[in-house]
Amino acid sequence: MISGIVRQENLENVPVAEIKNRKFLEAQKAEDKQQKASDAQDFTEDEHIETKDAMGRIEQAAILFNRKIRLELEEELDIMIVKVIDSETEEVIRQIPPEELVELSRNAKDLKGLLINKEG
């Protein structure tokens, strides 16, 4: 197959109104595509702002109880860990999900290959 060849349409017998309509539709499609990309970006920014706002409110509520909230990303498992910490002692009071469950998930990920028998 030869690449780079573009089929030229013979517009000699096509009415001018049809040519204008085709160009308008192509322009409209491009505009719609651009608008969808813009809307998706706006949605992501709005979602980000809402998340930051919610986190701010949670942190303010934790301060009332002399606590801190810390979010950590467990990259190996691709999960978020929430820790509630005593402001004075810096001791972890509660972790969600619990450390035991995180460790179990790490170990299960390592053992996954042992459970699957590929013979067949």
pLDDT digits (tens, 9 = 90+) for 41-60: 666 777 778 878 888 888 88
Residue range 2-14, pLDDT digits in tens: 555 555 566 666 6
Q: Is residue 7 part of a domain?
A: no
Q: Is residue 1 part of a domain?
A: no
The range of the structural domain enclosing residue 97 comes to 66-114
First to last CA, the chain: 40
Are residue 27 and residue 37 in the same domain, yes or no? Answer: yes
Q: Is residue 3 part of a domain?
A: no
Are residue 75 and residue 48 in the same domain, yes or no? Answer: no
Distance, CA of 22 to CA of 45 (rounded, Å): 35
Are residue 50 and residue 30 in the same domain, yes or no? Answer: yes
The pLDDT of residue 9: 60
By three-state DSSP, how is residue 65 classified? Answer: coil
Are residue 23 and residue 58 in the same domain, yes or no? Answer: yes
Are residue 49 and residue 23 in the same domain, yes or no? Answer: yes
Are residue 72 and residue 60 in the same domain, yes or no? Answer: no
Are residue 80 and residue 108 in the same domain, yes or no? Answer: yes
Pairing of strands 92-96, 79-86: antiparallel
Are residue 74 and residue 59 in the same domain, yes or no? Answer: no
**Domain's final residue, options 41, 64, 87:** 64
Q: Is the pTM of this model over 0.95?
A: no
Taking phi over 0 as left and psi of -120 to 50 as alpha, with beta for the rest, 7 belongs to beta
Q: Is residue 26 part of a domain?
A: yes
Q: Is residue 49 part of a domain?
A: yes
Counted domains in the chain:
2
Q: Is residue 93 part of a domain?
A: yes
